[in-house]
Amino acid sequence: MRIVAAIGAAILGICFWAGQAAATEINFMTWGGHYLDTYNPLVEKFAKQTGNKVNIVVMSGAKDGLTKIMAQKDDPQVDVWLSIESTAAEAEQAGLLSDLRPDLMPNLAALPKGYIGKQTVVMTLSPRGIAYRTDLVPFEIKDWTDLWDPRLKGKIGMSFVIDTGTPVIMAALLAGGSEKNIDPGFEKMKALKPNLAGFFKTDQESVKFLESGDFAVIGYAILANFYLKMQGESSDVKFVMPPKPKFLASIPGAVVKGRGAEREKVAFQFLDFLLSPESQEWVTSRFGQVPANPKAKLPETLAKVIPPLPLTDVYHVDWNVVNANYPAWNDRWNKEIQTQ
């Protein structure tokens, strides 16, 4: 009897192991915090549908993700990567990403052509603007130029690393410059210094310090960080997407090269799964983002926060110019703006 039970257990064990061995495990790198809560249910759904496991790897920011992928160049540990345009462009230039596989991604056919690159595909579009506490700011903020209002003295939190220096590009555009002529941006930012309370380096810090009131205004904010907090009736957090220039950041997804054919196949299938209307509606309803797949419904509450679609006057940053100049701009920011 004991022998029969042992043989039965061994057969069951072998079957279980064989089942596990057939499943492929991939690593999906994205931002942490709120992003984990959002992507965990999708990861579970994908696992149920396909039998393949997706592990979420957290990056503190897009630059952190890029650094990890570059450091792991000879032995990559990430399969699917969500990022921002500037870091995705860098990774592409460095030859770290795989070419998209339309044969494995049927949802690509629904996307506007402009969203599909050689190696990256826009997953969602994320509004940028100004987030502020209505109980701590004495007037309604409507425009980027309101940041320079003397009534905001010592109230603004600002960052340089968010969106790879875009806050300075915003200032440059207001002063007649651009990423190709950045000096007016730095001069404009110097004029903002009296209004700056401090600087943050991660999305989580911007959320934390706005919550605690140590920053009454986040001078360059990502809607996704504040969207859920704004939903409550009694919420005193408001987000405004100033009319000109508008920044609508593409959130590209990509598959990292070099993890083997099987993992790459599942990675593309997972990316395609994230482009399905159901996944897109889930993600964008939690982040206040615009879905890339036109078949996905726009979150209802998003219409109350951003101007009606399609958005006009969206500024498209030349990321090649930014990436070429970023180290010098970072140095200038530390010396001219961040130092008291």
Positions touching other proteins (CB under 8 A) are 63-64, 66-67, 70, 90, 94, 154, 161, 197-201, 205, 208, 212-214, 323, 326-327, 330, 334-335, 338-340
In DSSP terms, 31 is beta-bridged to 59
CB of 332 to other proteins, least distance (A): 11
Which residues neighbour 168 within 8 Å (Cβ) at sequence distance 6 or greater? 160, 182, 185, 186, 189, 329, 333
State the DSSP string of 289-315.
-EESSTTSPPPGGGGGTSPPSSP-SB-
Of the pair 63, 128, the CB lying nearest other proteins is at 63
Asked if residue 80 lies in contact with residue 29, where contact means CB atoms within 8 angstroms, the answer is yes
- Euclidean distance between CA atoms 194 and 198, whole angstroms: 10
Min dist CB 29 to other proteins, Å, is 15
Q: How far is the CB of 137 from other proteins (least distance, A)?
A: 13
- Min CB(330)–other proteins separation in Å: 5
- Name which of 182 and 266 has its Cβ closer to other proteins: 182
Residue with smaller CB distance to other proteins, 136 or 298:
136
Toward other proteins, which CB reaches closer, 199 or 227? Answer: 199
Rounded least distance, CB 40 to other proteins, Å: 22
Q: Report the residue number, 276 or 325, with the smaller CB distance to other proteins.
A: 325
**Quick check: 246 and 314 in contact, CB under 8 A?**
yes
CA-wise closest residue to 259 among 21, 40, 55, 73: 73
